[in-house]
Amino acid sequence: MPTFPAGILIDVQQFGFSFLILISVWFNYTSIMSVLPVEDSRTIVLNIVMLFLVSVEPYLFYLNVVFDLAQEEVMLNAASIAYALDMAGLMAILALFTHELTIEEKKLVSQDALGNYRRVRNSLFLAAVIFGVTILPIFWTIRVLDTPLRFYLWFVPLIVASIRRVTSRLT
């Protein structure tokens, strides 16, 4: 809850960043699902898990913003671990869906598109690994500018995704 009027703008900016993450997940999801058939039970279960992970992402993000590092370190650590696991799950599910598209025998995408989908899959798996690895205590104890390294590493998947998008447009 903001304690001063400008705090409302700060909260909206923080919500906007969380919304940007969800939009990115949504765009990836819709581009994958426009090609991937949803007929098997595995895909349905992954969709349900993904829906849950998407629904709790704003709450977990909010907890990472609202807890103060100096006064509520234990709670912030727990919230950041939960957020990292949530994002790792989202990225892993998107990577699994994308992997289905890269199986040549299924012929879900053209031969020309396979390379791009493999790059997307690999970058999503990398993002899942990065988010997952950041739950290790070392990424909480190492500080950069008095902020746990974990928070900085969460930007790496955004940078990788941006580089992937730029390079895919150039090829």
Q: Which residues contact 154 (CB under 8 A, 6 or more apart)?
A: 84, 87, 130, 131, 134
pLDDT for position 88: 97
> How distant, in Å, are the alpha carbons of 19, 58, 81, 107, 169 from that of 14?
9, 10, 19, 41, 30
Tens of pLDDT along the chain (171 residues) come to: 667 788 788 888 888 888 888 888 898 899 888 888 777 888 889 999 999 999 999 999 999 988 888 899 999 999 999 999 999 999 999 999 999 989 877 778 888 888 888 999 999 999 999 999 999 999 999 999 999 999 999 989 888 877 877 777 766
pLDDT for position 92: 97
Structure tokens at 92: 């892993």
pLDDT for position 1: 64
Structurally, the chain folds into a number of domains equal to 1
pLDDT for position 139: 96
pLDDT for position 158: 83
- The residues with which 148 forms a beta bridge, in sequence order, are 143
**43-56 burial code (b ≥16 CB/10 A, e <16):** beebeeebeebbee
Q: Which amino acid is at 62?
A: Y
State if pTM tops 0.75: yes
Q: Which amino acid is at 109?
A: V
Domain enclosing residue 114, as ranges: 5-170
> How distant, in Å, are the alpha carbons of 113, 154, 163 from that of 170?
14, 26, 11
